[in-house]
Amino acid sequence: MARPVTLFTGQWADLTLETVAEKASAWGFDGLELACWGDHFEVDKALDDDAYLQSRWDILNKYGLKCFAISNHLVGQCVCDNIDARHKDILPKRIWGDGEPEGVRQRAAEEIQNTARAAKRFGVDVVNGFTGSSVWGAFYFFPPTTQAYVQAGYDDFAARWLPILDVYREEGVKFALEVHPTEIAYDLITSQRALDALSGHVSFGFNFDPSHLIHQFIDPVEFIDAFGDRIFHVHVKDSRLQLTGRSSILASHLDFGDSRRGWDFVSPGRGDVRWDPIIRALNRIGYDGPLSIEWEDSGMDREYGAPEALAMVRRQDFRPSEVAFDAAFSSD
Amino acid sequence: MARPVTLFTGQWADLTLETVAEKASAWGFDGLELACWGDHFEVDKALDDDAYLQSRWDILNKYGLKCFAISNHLVGQCVCDNIDARHKDILPKRIWGDGEPEGVRQRAAEEIQNTARAAKRFGVDVVNGFTGSSVWGAFYFFPPTTQAYVQAGYDDFAARWLPILDVYREEGVKFALEVHPTEIAYDLITSQRALDALSGHVSFGFNFDPSHLIHQFIDPVEFIDAFGDRIFHVHVKDSRLQLTGRSSILASHLDFGDSRRGWDFVSPGRGDVRWDPIIRALNRIGYDGPLSIEWEDSGMDREYGAPEALAMVRRQDFRPSEVAFDAAFSSD
Amino acid sequence: MARPVTLFTGQWADLTLETVAEKASAWGFDGLELACWGDHFEVDKALDDDAYLQSRWDILNKYGLKCFAISNHLVGQCVCDNIDARHKDILPKRIWGDGEPEGVRQRAAEEIQNTARAAKRFGVDVVNGFTGSSVWGAFYFFPPTTQAYVQAGYDDFAARWLPILDVYREEGVKFALEVHPTEIAYDLITSQRALDALSGHVSFGFNFDPSHLIHQFIDPVEFIDAFGDRIFHVHVKDSRLQLTGRSSILASHLDFGDSRRGWDFVSPGRGDVRWDPIIRALNRIGYDGPLSIEWEDSGMDREYGAPEALAMVRRQDFRPSEVAFDAAFSSD
Amino acid sequence: MARPVTLFTGQWADLTLETVAEKASAWGFDGLELACWGDHFEVDKALDDDAYLQSRWDILNKYGLKCFAISNHLVGQCVCDNIDARHKDILPKRIWGDGEPEGVRQRAAEEIQNTARAAKRFGVDVVNGFTGSSVWGAFYFFPPTTQAYVQAGYDDFAARWLPILDVYREEGVKFALEVHPTEIAYDLITSQRALDALSGHVSFGFNFDPSHLIHQFIDPVEFIDAFGDRIFHVHVKDSRLQLTGRSSILASHLDFGDSRRGWDFVSPGRGDVRWDPIIRALNRIGYDGPLSIEWEDSGMDREYGAPEALAMVRRQDFRPSEVAFDAAFSSD
Amino acid sequence: MARPVTLFTGQWADLTLETVAEKASAWGFDGLELACWGDHFEVDKALDDDAYLQSRWDILNKYGLKCFAISNHLVGQCVCDNIDARHKDILPKRIWGDGEPEGVRQRAAEEIQNTARAAKRFGVDVVNGFTGSSVWGAFYFFPPTTQAYVQAGYDDFAARWLPILDVYREEGVKFALEVHPTEIAYDLITSQRALDALSGHVSFGFNFDPSHLIHQFIDPVEFIDAFGDRIFHVHVKDSRLQLTGRSSILASHLDFGDSRRGWDFVSPGRGDVRWDPIIRALNRIGYDGPLSIEWEDSGMDREYGAPEALAMVRRQDFRPSEVAFDAAFSSD
Amino acid sequence: MARPVTLFTGQWADLTLETVAEKASAWGFDGLELACWGDHFEVDKALDDDAYLQSRWDILNKYGLKCFAISNHLVGQCVCDNIDARHKDILPKRIWGDGEPEGVRQRAAEEIQNTARAAKRFGVDVVNGFTGSSVWGAFYFFPPTTQAYVQAGYDDFAARWLPILDVYREEGVKFALEVHPTEIAYDLITSQRALDALSGHVSFGFNFDPSHLIHQFIDPVEFIDAFGDRIFHVHVKDSRLQLTGRSSILASHLDFGDSRRGWDFVSPGRGDVRWDPIIRALNRIGYDGPLSIEWEDSGMDREYGAPEALAMVRRQDFRPSEVAFDAAFSSD
């Protein structure tokens, strides 16, 4: 379909946007998916300062790059989470504040609303991100966990996100949750449950990313077939099982990149994701947005890996058939 | 080895001990592993009341049953856990108290010390149980999680359990952690890390239970070979993968028994545990304690399943060889 | 659930009903599923002759056997099929007549209506059987096959069976199609298509038989979960893959029992059907009818195999749980 | 071996030969395998009209393309088939005539003889094609199917094809049946049976095409090893299993390209065919004819896929070794 | 087929024949396959001393046991082997003599001839055993190994065994080589090569034992189908893969029973041999001799395992079908 | 890591060094690993003749090639082996001499010492090679084989190699055994046993070559993780399983390249070795030496294969990551 291929800048936020843009352009990317951290896309400035917005486009334009979506995973995570010390490291000080959990959650919610407004002003209509979850940590049902206990987490999610999503609807922007462990939705069942909790709010959908499904043993194609009309964005990211009989699929509290983990992220094309059936499924649902490479591989130099991943996507992103073969056999 | 086969009473605590004993005896069990909940084995009474202790033995003796271990998973869980509403349901009121987390944890720690004392008085030298963990919920490393953050959880574990274990050492009783998700140790890596945190305290070891390893894709034999000298007790419990490409190995916040889960517990012999290699491994390390059936299968009547499981264990618990085959070929 | 276990007499129709009943009773079966061929259950006599009906019950009663269903696969097959020489061998002369295809089909349809009436008079409310299909032979889409061509077959099916099924409704009897290659429904997709063609006629459902799904690589549990409310009867039959890289899953026009086939029927318990998950699924949908062994294994003496299969079913047909395990952990 | 790589024009017959030739040449193909439908190669004109024959070569020569074989699958299919409405769409009117089955079959047989004569005149010595089969539809042995019934189909095949093949022998042309479900030969067993039915007629052999074996679970290498001296031509075509536990290997009467099918054709290199062992096997039997890409993938634009497939074949078609490694180790 | 089940006494030769007979009889065996070592069956005495022969039968008869074959693996091994120190331990002194290799081989050959004579006198017509091989150790082709080098080993085998086999033919006794690594034949290819080297001598065939094929990844059924008319005897023995990614299929020069080996022998029924297809294959070739359990499992008490294995064989040794199912469907 | 990629000349020794160098340079190799046979690197000349040494470098320099290691597998094999006729073909006459085994072994040992001296003079510090083994042929423990028997082989290895290795230490050269069946070390267990026999001599380590591990079912990554500090050199060579149920993993005494073998060597990238995890493991241990392609594929033209393999290695040899991803997420 000749979909545009973009690079998600989240893993490159230690570099300036200009540096990332220069690299991505040289490698041949069509655009960037801007992370709302580092200096790549700052929501507060974007709301207040037209010049700031223009400066982002100036950089993109200078390198011939497009932008279809911005992403605010880190703040989104804090909307529903039980806040702990780790959240401090991923939030700007103005949102962390004194760290009192409910205050953090409310400021994060406000920022996610502002992210929609900033996206609108910037001229993109998709915000990717996370939602957090107050019940993620209870996924293993011990101590014995009732459905009422779990449902309270989904109700909390709805209570916090419905007002946010109404802002998105007003702005004509969609929020695309990256389905992922630690989020309110991490598989098919919980994605449906999240949708149900929101009564199917029109502004809520998914950033499809197969790397988070592979290590759960979910076929990514099943996700696309189940939620085709809610897939607002696509991440190209890969992961790989490393099961030896001694490693755990739960990863043993080991760092990414530790070879003793039961799975890990790897450069797209080197993992267990089968891309061809995914492209077919995306063709099937008519997805024509960007394929955005979220490059993460703790065992590979990212500047080696990003162009390799781009080449892989270009090889895979084929157009669907426009003829029926039977016609060729006809005697007419 | 003709090891004794016992029934763990934890899943039968809605019945009186006498009822459970009568059933287990009729089915042919050799003994019971008493749960420290329901009326089966009450730690507070056991410490205060010789008549209570005798009453437990009277029941056991009446039905010709032995006892090699008592188990206090529920209270143990609360020693290190971040306490939430679910813990209230598994604790006696005297331990839950006002529910203030640190108070709950300290009362739980004290109860676990008392459990050692009660075990000693009762005449058994193994207490099985859980430890809880303050960092279990952070097993998926997002928000980004440092090893320092994780290690703090292990340090907290050591700080809380070393004093407990010193009581165990004094009493000549061993504490056997059932390696299990939600605990400080749930696989090979974390079991070693827990041991290291305790500097290998002699009173700390494991209640080997393969059902918790199977759905992590760990070969239970690897656990036995790695920790042979720390296996103080053995649970016979089974689990089964139910991976369809749509189900998640993380189980989707679904109840046990829901067929959409990616795995579930099933009656021993009906799951993915291969028992023959486990028996060989137990023979290899010289384990001669009980094989204690922890029967849990949300899809089967427990009174149908328990005797079936017992028969399975009897078929599997073979003696190792005492001759070398080469001797038979000798020309001498 | 302690479901009754019956023996389907179709593969024993070279023996008299009395002989089969005597054997089945001796082996411990609870009842028979009577085939409408041989002398086991003759539809024409059953309609005309009360004494004949009584004679069937007399035999059953003599051997302490029950009957829950009769089966008329052979005549049913001829309702929709493109008739060829093979059909002559499976039909009574009065139905075959001169063999002119449309006449055969119409007489077969009438006989299947009469089978409902006979069942009612006999006192059972399920008739198992086949439907035939005018488009089965076109399952491989060459010459190029349009959906219009296929749909014509489903329309023909509906046209022929709706009047039949109305008779079933009137009689209070259900028709249970054994989903099977060569029939209008042979997998999940075509079962739904058949139901749709009939607009979900209440008297039409399925005789679940996993042996016909295994060699199509369908998980039988998926069928149960998809059509739980339409499963009117269950066959216990088994099949096994025999794939060597040289054999074909299409079986090479070789006889059953030829080891060069890519799959074959085998005695229940010796094939690739996993019975435990099927029993769980049947428990889930609340099926409480008979488990009827259709014994077919071209490599085994049937009198060796039938009691072995019965013992297998008795071991597998467990009751579901009636307690929640969490209750046992409660501190209350 | 640097075998020539050709494109089979059958799936491109909606385009003129000139258009196909231009495209194939631009992509780098060495030649075309001409379909006897569309305007690509018309048997009647080829027999009557030298200028027509020359016009075909003129097009080929203009684009630097070779031709090693022509193919007449559609007419060949009608020689033995039970004729139904679908055959009308694949036949020229002069062969379909009034559609009376036996007349169709006889005219098809005559056309296949003429195809040999046309090939000779055209200067190629291989005609690929299908044979049809009167017993294909009975591959599943219900209604019970005797070997006599099946053998009658093979006898019919021999009776119809032996006279045809004698013409091929006279003309010095070989007929290469594409082994394929719906044909008299579709796997190893039936290929041998077809050969036996023809008493091994020297002019009869096979167009090896692994895509039709993969979904039967046959290792294509086994076919090459079994019939090496009868492989007259090779198709490069690919297929893929899509088994989910809900899909059927029999494909559910669903169209090619429907993701619910249990298997489908895909662009060569994207399916389950392993090409490296096939090239080794072709090297082993000394096959030095063309590798002819039959491109069919209902989910991919054919103009994207054909050059990709060509590149794949070029990468795979390696030369065998001409040295023995031991020589390099010699001390001489 | 209700074949007799015997116990091979080779692994019990540290016990007297009387002791073994008493045990085997108590466990329910039908007979013994006597090893020609220990005191079970001494060839020299058997040739010289009628009373000795009678004493063997007296013991067998006393315990109601039959005998169908004797076995002389240890001496047979020395006929072709490159003799080293290990052979001394498996030979009587009279055969080992001074240990000069060629003398050992010749005395072993003479003893194997005598074994035929002793078998005849004893009244059995099958001698099981090994042949040894001068080229076994060169199975891995480094240093570079020519087919001439290998063939010299097969020629040596033929030169040594043809005279032996002529004695077998004269005596009306068959020699059944247990196909096994370390022997001249250890798989399908080498079994055929051995037969070819002997020009198919009528007295040479095989003692089928699947345990030696499993760890070579050979399907035992393939062996039966390939050499059905040469299978003179059957061993029931089992083996199991223990591949962990760290263990080697070549077993690392580790003792049997060491869990670090890549494979090991286990009690029949506990390994990777699938017995049902083997029984079907034996039924197919019409084998009606004994199923002789060669019990070897370094991790299990042999007195626990032997009766378990016997029960397994009894469950598996079913009769083939004597009816065709189609008959039951006939309308006649 | 941009490791240099070299070509091992051992399989090209039928060509002159100049010819090999010219080809390798044209294909883009960075260097050569010189075999000590053919005219590539002659140890005796290298010790005696400075001009000879210079001539080797002249050729290398002319083609811009580096050299990091020389290899003397053939002579090394004869240090411990039981010498037979095959060894004559791999030795220079001056070492074979009269072929008396002990004399051959001693002359081989001396030559291997000289190889260290020659390497030093040549300016490389790694000698790759084989060791031979007196007990390799006894890997299958029949006749019954004691650990004492095996250990004698390891003691013999130590006795012969410790003096050799002392020379290596003196010269500052390392000996890298290519772990390989037929050698004293062929898997993880025996590699450790060999190291133990040498008391961990500092000059002894391994030439890691995954192709010899694959057909033993060993994960090559496990070898790297176990012996990281002893990996002195790396061979890039590939092998593939060819298991059909009829082939043997022991390869049936068939030549390399025979398709009936259970495994075979194939051009790197076409076998079962997974290179990506190996590169990660080599990065993990910090290996920065050459990746040396040992090209061997009996079914492919070597001049086709060598550049293909080089391209594969270039694609795989990626640099490890130098940033932590968490840094990019930081809010600082």
Please write the tens of the pLDDT for every residue from C144-193.
999 999 999 999 999 999 999 999 999 999 999 999 999 999 999 999 99
Report chain C residues whose CB lies below 8 A from the CB of E324.
Answer: 298
E191-207 tens-digit pLDDT: 999 999 999 999 999 99
Cα–Cα distance measured from residue B205 to residue B101, given in angstroms and rounded to the nearest whole number? 26
Residue type, E69: A
Q: For position B321, what pLDDT does the model report?
A: 83
Answer yes or no: is pLDDT of C323 > 80. Answer: no
SS3 call for D69: coil
Report chain E residues whose CB lies below 8 A from the CB of F272.
Answer: none
SS3 call for F298: coil
B163-185 tens-digit pLDDT: 999 999 999 999 999 999 999 99
Listed residue (E7, E113, E107, E124) closest to E57, CA to CA: E124
CA distances from D234 to B142, D2, F27 (A): 53, 14, 32
Q: How far apart are the first and last CA of chain A?
A: 31
User: Could you give the residue ranges of the DSSP H alpha helices within C136-291?
Assistant: 147-171, 188-197, 211-214, 220-226, 275-285
Q: Would you call C144 an interface residue with chain A, using a CB distance cutoff of 8 Å?
A: yes
Q: For position A323, what pLDDT does the model report?
A: 67
Q: For position A322, what pLDDT does the model report?
A: 75
For residue D296, give the chain A residue with the closest CA.
A325
| Segment B9-38 mean pLDDT | 97
Average pLDDT, chain F: 96
C221-268 tens-digit pLDDT: 999 999 999 999 999 999 999 999 999 999 999 999 999 999 999 999
C1 to chain B, closest Cα gap in Å: 9
Report chain C residues whose CB lies below 8 A from the CB of E284.
Answer: 259, 299
Q: Do C329 and A146 touch (CB under 8 A)?
A: no
Cα–Cα distance measured from residue A269 to residue E128, given in angstroms and rounded to the nearest whole number? 55
Closest residue to C143, CB basis, from D77, D245, D246: D77
Average pLDDT, chain E: 96
Residue type, F255: D
E171-230 tens-digit pLDDT: 999 999 999 999 999 999 999 999 999 999 999 999 999 999 999 999 999 999 999 999
| Segment C190-213 mean pLDDT | 98
Answer yes or no: is pLDDT of E1 > 60. Answer: no
Closest residue to B330, CB basis, from E89, E266, E299: E89
Q: For position C322, what pLDDT does the model report?
A: 75
- The model's confidence at residue D320, banded by pLDDT at 50, 70 and 90, is confident
Q: Do D74 and A329 touch (CB under 8 A)?
A: yes
Q: For position B56, what pLDDT does the model report?
A: 98
Residue type, D281: A
Cα–Cα distance measured from residue A25 to residue A29, given in angstroms and rounded to the nearest whole number? 5
E290 to chain B, closest Cα gap in Å: 23
Helix (DSSP H) and strand (DSSP E) numbers for chain F:
14, 10
Q: Do A331 and D88 touch (CB under 8 A)?
A: yes
Q: What is the DSSP pairing of strand A126-129 with strand C238-241? A: unpaired
Q: For position F323, what pLDDT does the model report?
A: 66
Taking the CA atoms of E320, E322, E328 and E331 in sequence, report the sign of the dihedral they define: positive
Q: Would you call B245 an interface residue with chain D, using a CB distance cutoff of 8 Å?
A: yes
A289-307 tens-digit pLDDT: 999 999 999 999 999 999 9
In 10 A of CB A196, how many CB atoms? 11
Answer yes or no: is pLDDT of D138 > 60. Answer: yes
Q: Would you call E151 an interface residue with chain F, using a CB distance cutoff of 8 Å?
A: no
- The model's confidence at residue A282, banded by pLDDT at 50, 70 and 90, is very high
C257-311 tens-digit pLDDT: 999 999 999 999 999 999 999 999 999 999 999 999 999 999 999 999 999 999 9
Helix axes F147-171, F73-80, angle to 10 degrees: 140
Phi, psi torsion values for D203, nearest 5 degrees: -90, 0
Q: For position D322, what pLDDT does the model report?
A: 75
- The model's confidence at residue F321, banded by pLDDT at 50, 70 and 90, is confident
Angle at F81 between CA F76 and CA F83, to 5 degrees: 110
What token pair was written down for C262? 């890519």
SS3 call for F70: strand
Lowest mean pLDDT among B317-321, C51-55, D321-325, F325-329: F325-329
Q: Do B256 and C320 touch (CB under 8 A)?
A: no
- The model's confidence at residue A320, banded by pLDDT at 50, 70 and 90, is confident
User: Could you give the residue ranges of the DSSP H alpha helices within chain A?
Assistant: 17-27, 43-48, 50-62, 73-80, 85-88, 93-96, 101-122, 147-171, 188-197, 211-214, 220-227, 275-285, 302-316, 325-329
Answer yes or no: is pLDDT of F325 > 90. Answer: no
Q: Do E38 and B328 touch (CB under 8 A)?
A: yes
How much of chain E, in percent, has pLDDT values that exceed 90?
A: 95
Q: What is the DSSP pairing of strand A291-293 with strand C231-236? A: unpaired
Cα B170 to chain centroid distance, Å, stands at 22
Taking the CA atoms of C283, C287, C292 and C296 in sequence, report the sign of the dihedral they define: negative
Residue identified by tokens 């570099």 is: A15
Chains that touch A (3 or more CB pairs under 8 A): B, C, D, E, F
Cα–Cα distance measured from residue C37 to residue C154, given in angstroms and rounded to the nearest whole number? 27
Cα–Cα distance measured from residue D112 to residue A296, given in angstroms and rounded to the nearest whole number? 59
Report chain D residues whose CB lies below 8 A from the CB of A328.
Answer: 10-14, 38
How much of chain B, in percent, has pLDDT values that exceed 70?
A: 97
Closest residue to C297, CB basis, from E284, E321, E330: E321
For residue F11, give the chain D residue with the closest CA.
D328
Answer yes or no: is pLDDT of A324 > 80. Answer: no
F148-178 tens-digit pLDDT: 999 999 999 999 999 999 999 999 999 999 9
| Segment B208-223 mean pLDDT | 98
B51-86 tens-digit pLDDT: 999 999 999 999 999 999 999 999 999 999 999 999
For residue C91, give the chain D residue with the closest CA.
D143
F25-48 tens-digit pLDDT: 999 999 999 999 989 999 999 999
Q: Do A328 and D91 touch (CB under 8 A)?
A: no
Cα–Cα distance measured from residue A129 to residue A79, given in angstroms and rounded to the nearest whole number? 11
How much of chain E, in percent, has pLDDT values that exceed 70?
A: 97
Q: Would you call A276 an interface residue with chain D, using a CB distance cutoff of 8 Å?
A: yes
Q: For position D319, what pLDDT does the model report?
A: 87
CA distances from B108 to B83, B117, B120, B135 (A): 11, 14, 19, 18
Listed residue (B134, B211, B193, B197) closest to B165, CA to CA: B197
Q: Would you call A192 an interface residue with chain F, using a CB distance cutoff of 8 Å?
A: no
| Segment A226-250 mean pLDDT | 98
Answer yes or no: is pLDDT of B210 > 90. Answer: yes
Q: For position B168, what pLDDT does the model report?
A: 98
A148 to chain C, closest Cα gap in Å: 14
Average pLDDT, chain D: 96
DSSP E320: P
Cα–Cα distance measured from residue E197 to residue E134, given in angstroms and rounded to the nearest whole number? 14
What token pair was written down for B113? 């010390």
Q: For position C331, what pLDDT does the model report?
A: 59
How much of chain A, in percent, has pLDDT values that exceed 70?
A: 97
A259 to chain E, closest Cα gap in Å: 15
Spatial contact of E223 and E208, defined as CB atoms under 8 Å apart = yes
Average pLDDT, chain A: 96
Q: Would you call A150 an interface residue with chain B, using a CB distance cutoff of 8 Å?
A: yes
Q: Would you call B113 an interface residue with chain A, using a CB distance cutoff of 8 Å?
A: no
Listed residue (A79, A85, A73) closest to A35, CA to CA: A73
What token pair was written down for B198? 């305790």
Cα–Cα distance measured from residue E135 to residue F150, given in angstroms and rounded to the nearest whole number? 20
Q: Would you call B238 an interface residue with chain C, using a CB distance cutoff of 8 Å?
A: no
| Segment E264-290 mean pLDDT | 97
User: Could you give the residue ranges of the DSSP H alpha helices within chain E?
Assistant: 17-27, 43-48, 50-62, 73-80, 85-88, 93-96, 101-122, 147-171, 188-197, 211-214, 220-226, 275-285, 302-316, 325-329
- The model's confidence at residue F324, banded by pLDDT at 50, 70 and 90, is low
Q: Would you call D211 an interface residue with chain A, using a CB distance cutoff of 8 Å?
A: no
D35-64 tens-digit pLDDT: 999 899 999 999 999 999 999 999 999 999
Q: Do C253 and D139 touch (CB under 8 A)?
A: yes
Cα–Cα distance measured from residue D249 to residue C216, given in angstroms and rounded to the nearest whole number? 5
Q: Would you call A245 an interface residue with chain E, using a CB distance cutoff of 8 Å?
A: yes
B81 to chain F, closest Cα gap in Å: 27
SS3 call for B56: helix
- Cβ pairs B/C, distance under 8 A: 62
Q: For position C329, what pLDDT does the model report?
A: 74
Q: Would you call B132 an interface residue with chain C, using a CB distance cutoff of 8 Å?
A: no
Spatial contact of A234 and A286, defined as CB atoms under 8 Å apart = no
Q: For position B194, what pLDDT does the model report?
A: 98
Q: Which of A44, A83, A300, A312 to mutate to test the interface with F (most CBs of F within 10 A)?
A: A300
E122-144 tens-digit pLDDT: 999 999 999 999 999 999 999 99
> Using CB atoms and an 8 Å cut-off, which of residues 310-329 of chain E contact chain C?
318-325, 327-329
A272 to chain E, closest Cα gap in Å: 19
pTM of the model: 0.96
| Segment E72-82 mean pLDDT | 98
R_g of chain A computed on alpha carbons: 20
A91-141 tens-digit pLDDT: 999 999 999 999 999 999 999 999 999 999 999 999 999 999 999 999 999
